């Protein structure tokens, strides 16, 4: 029953300049499961997500305290290259952000430039698109611009693009918030499928979504981890009153 | 009651018409001035334009014959200025927008660059004379002139490139970096290609300036008259703006060569337009599948 923990946080604090965005967070993310991070805007859930692949490094004046272990190694250790970390921990963003390139080149971009998985690019592109359940829709237009795809298709393309790097973990930052319900349903199905092979950590504002797709759920409030448990437990019988108030829509 | 609403509406309508009228008039004045200038040059200059004028050497102390060496010289100098100004300017802009930690130092540098754009061109000419011609011993040459013009257009290109780089959505950078692609590769493969059309637009302005300036090349590259075309980048050249200046002020036959002066101006305008057109064509080809 107890899964292997792929990422562990030990007493993590995070600062934007002088202001603290995360307070003493300690939590473990189980391998090949879906973990949902929920909480009202500004609670630190996106900050936490972007801390896991060192995307926060891009923001000047940020600082991390504590330990973030990925497969047992601290990713904030001095001689760890964030570029290496990001190859193993992929990310899908809130708004679909394909490159203004062809569909094929969107997928091939990462593997080509990093030299990873560069064996048979055609096969890799096909495999990644199939994993993202987009292949059948785009197989005849691989050389057309990705900008011509619909929003939902673009987001699946971004997932395929991340998968082409063969990451261990996939971080998703509200991946369906810019999409219509049908596209959202497709992405959710896709996440169900992907968790067989990948660890998925997803930030969402949508309670039903968290309840539907995740195995565990963590509730954050103003930089604190309030409650972290099996999703079933969180949504039926939470231990903390604040969690209950939030998931029943009484605040947030 | 009703009447007062009516009259206030009328008053507002009158004001609107008045302001639109003023705006239209301003545009008309500009258009007329520009059109008039061009027309004046064409009318006075078109008479001397023929194949011989643009393909042969000047003769009889430049009172007859063509202006071919000046056309060639201006093209050399302008292309040289772009070859120097564009890479240097784009590299500076990449450093300023993508790498440098934004702070007081960078602000001061940016103000400095803006000031550089306002420095009179004759100052660049003297700078070129001191540094390239005398100190580095390039002599009065294509190389020295191109370097001087390259520095002259540098602020324009840096400014345009900065704007173009900033206009590339941050989400593209994030998407690339999140794949584990390095920062340098991200800039080179994603940011720069998407900024290039914008950079070219700004550079077009620089081209016009480089081709048309007289003062910076007077001391660094331009010759009063050369009997043949330059053989290397260390050779002196004739150039259109300087040729016009010479014919109009320094010759012994100023009045007689008036039509040639107008003709030369016309050719200069055509050369600048030609180079601009080339840049516009390149830009539109690049833009074809760039939408976001």
Q: Which of A92, A69, A79 is nearest to A179 (CA)?
A: A92
| Residue A208 resides in a domain | yes
- Start-to-end CA span in chain B (Å): 53
Contact B180 A58 (CB under 8 A): no
Residue A116, token pair as written in the block: 């990873």
| Residue A114 resides in a domain | yes
| A86 in contact with chain B, both atoms CB, cutoff 8 A | yes
Chain A and chain B share a number of CB contacts under 8 A equal to 71
Number of domains in chain A: 1
For A185-196, how does the pLDDT look when each residue is reduced to its tens digit (9 = 90+)?
989 999 999 999
Q: In the prediction, which pLDDT does B46 show?
A: 86
Lowest mean per-residue pLDDT among A114-123, A142-151, B18-27, B196-205 = A114-123
> What single DSSP character describes residue A156?
H
> What single DSSP character describes residue A180?
-
Separation in Å, CA of A180 to nearest CA in chain B: 20
| Average pLDDT score over chain A | 91
| Residue A207 resides in a domain | yes
Q: Which residues from chain B sit within 8 angstroms of residue A114, using beta carbons?
A: 179-181
Contact B179 A86 (CB under 8 A): yes
CATH architecture of B51-287: Orthogonal Bundle (1.10)
Is residue A200 scored above 90 in pLDDT? yes
Contact B179 A162 (CB under 8 A): yes
Is residue A47 scored above 90 in pLDDT? yes
φ, ψ dihedrals at A75, nearest 5°: -75, -10
Is residue A117 scored above 70 in pLDDT? no
Separation in Å, CA of B289 to nearest CA in chain A: 7
Q: In the prediction, which pLDDT does B207 show?
A: 83
Q: In the prediction, which pLDDT does A1 show?
A: 39
Radius of gyration of chain A (CA): 18
- Report the pLDDT averaged over residues A46-52: 94
Is residue A161 scored above 90 in pLDDT? yes
Output the CA–CA distances (angstroms, integers) from residue B177 to A79, B158, B186, in the order listed. 18, 25, 7
| Interface predicted TM-score (ipTM) | 0.90
Contact B178 A93 (CB under 8 A): yes
Contact B185 A86 (CB under 8 A): no
**B193 exposed, middle or buried (CB, 10 Å; 0-12, 13-18, 19+)?**
middle
For A71-95, how does the pLDDT look when each residue is reduced to its tens digit (9 = 90+)?
989 999 888 999 999 999 999 999 9
What's A150's domain CATH number? 3.40.50.300
CA B48 to CA B6: how far, in whole Å?
Answer: 63
| Residue A252 resides in a domain | no
CA A120 to CA A235: how far, in whole Å?
Answer: 45
Residue-range domain boundaries for chain B: 2-37, 51-287
Mean pLDDT by 10 residues, chain B (292 residues): 74 91 96 94 86 76 76 89 93 92 88 90 92 87 92 92 92 93 93 90 82 85 76 81 84 78 90 84 73 50
| A226 in contact with chain B, both atoms CB, cutoff 8 A | no
Residue A136 contacts by C-beta under 8 Å, 6 or more apart in sequence?
none
Structural domain including A115 reads: 5-247
């Amino acid at each position: 029953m107890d899964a292997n923990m792929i990422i562990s946080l030990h007493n993590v604090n995070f600062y934007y300049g002088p202001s603290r965005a995360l307070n003493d967070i300690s939590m473990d993310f189980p391998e090949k499961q879906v973990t949902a991070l929920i909480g009202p805007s500004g609670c630190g859930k996106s900050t936490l997500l972007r801390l896991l692949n060192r995307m926060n490094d891009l923001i000047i004046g940020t600082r991390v305290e504590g330990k973030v272990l990925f497969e047992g190694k601290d990713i904030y250790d001095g001689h760890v290259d964030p570029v290496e970390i990001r190859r193993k921990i992929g990310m899908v963003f809130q708004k679909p952000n394909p490159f203004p390139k062809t569909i094929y080149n969107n997928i091939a971009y990462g593997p080509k430039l990093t030299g990873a998985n560069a064996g048979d690019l055609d096969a890799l592109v096909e495999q990644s698109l199939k994993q993202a359940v987009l292949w059948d829709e785009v197989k005849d237009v691989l050389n057309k611009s990705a900008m011509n795809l619909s929003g939902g298709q673009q987001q699946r393309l971004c997932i395929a693009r991340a998968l082409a790097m063969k990451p261990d973990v996939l971080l998703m930052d509200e991946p369906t918030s810019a999409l219509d319900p049908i596209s959202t349903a497709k992405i959710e199905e896709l996440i169900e499928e992907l968790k067989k092979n990948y660890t998925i950590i997803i930030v969402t504002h949508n309670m039903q979504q968290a309840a539907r797709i995740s195995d565990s759920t963590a509730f954050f409030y103003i930089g604190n981890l309030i409650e972290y448990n099996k999703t079933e437990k969180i949504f039926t019988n939470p231990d903390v009153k604040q969690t209950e108030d939030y998931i029943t829509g009484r605040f947030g | 009651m009703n009447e007062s609403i009516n009259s206030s509406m009328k008053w507002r309508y009158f004001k609107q018409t008045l302001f639109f009228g003023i705006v239209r008039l301003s545009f008309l004045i500009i258009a007329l001035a520009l059109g008039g200038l061009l027309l004046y040059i064409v009318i006075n200059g078109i008479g001397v334009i023929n194949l011989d004028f643009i393909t042969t050497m000047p003769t009889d102390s430049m009172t007859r014959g063509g202006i071919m060496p000046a056309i060639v010289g201006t093209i050399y100098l302008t292309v040289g200025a772009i070859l120097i100004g564009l890479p240097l300017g784009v590299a500076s802009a990449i450093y300023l927008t993508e790498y440098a930690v934004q702070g007081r130092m960078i602000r001061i540098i940016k103000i400095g660059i803006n000031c550089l754009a306002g420095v009179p061109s004759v100052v660049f000419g003297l700078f070129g004379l001191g540094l390239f011609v005398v100190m580095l011993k390039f002599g009065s040459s294509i190389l020295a002139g191109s370097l001087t013009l390259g520095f002259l257009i540098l602020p324009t290109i840096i400014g345009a490139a900065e704007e173009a780089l900033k206009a590339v959505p941050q989400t593209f950078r994030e998407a690339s970096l999140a794949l584990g692609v390095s920062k340098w590769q991200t800039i080179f493969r994603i940011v720069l290609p998407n900024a290039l059309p914008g950079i070219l637009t700004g550079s077009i302005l620089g081209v016009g300036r480089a081709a048309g300036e007289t003062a910076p090349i007077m001391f660094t590259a331009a010759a009063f008259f050369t009997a043949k075309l330059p053989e290397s980048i260390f050779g002196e050249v004739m150039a259109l703006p300087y040729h016009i200046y010479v014919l109009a002020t320094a010759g012994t036959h100023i009045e007689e060569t008036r039509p040639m002066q107008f003709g030369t101006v016309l050719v200069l305008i055509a050369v600048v337009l030609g180079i601009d057109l080339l840049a516009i064509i390149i830009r539109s080809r690049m833009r074809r599948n760039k939408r976001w």
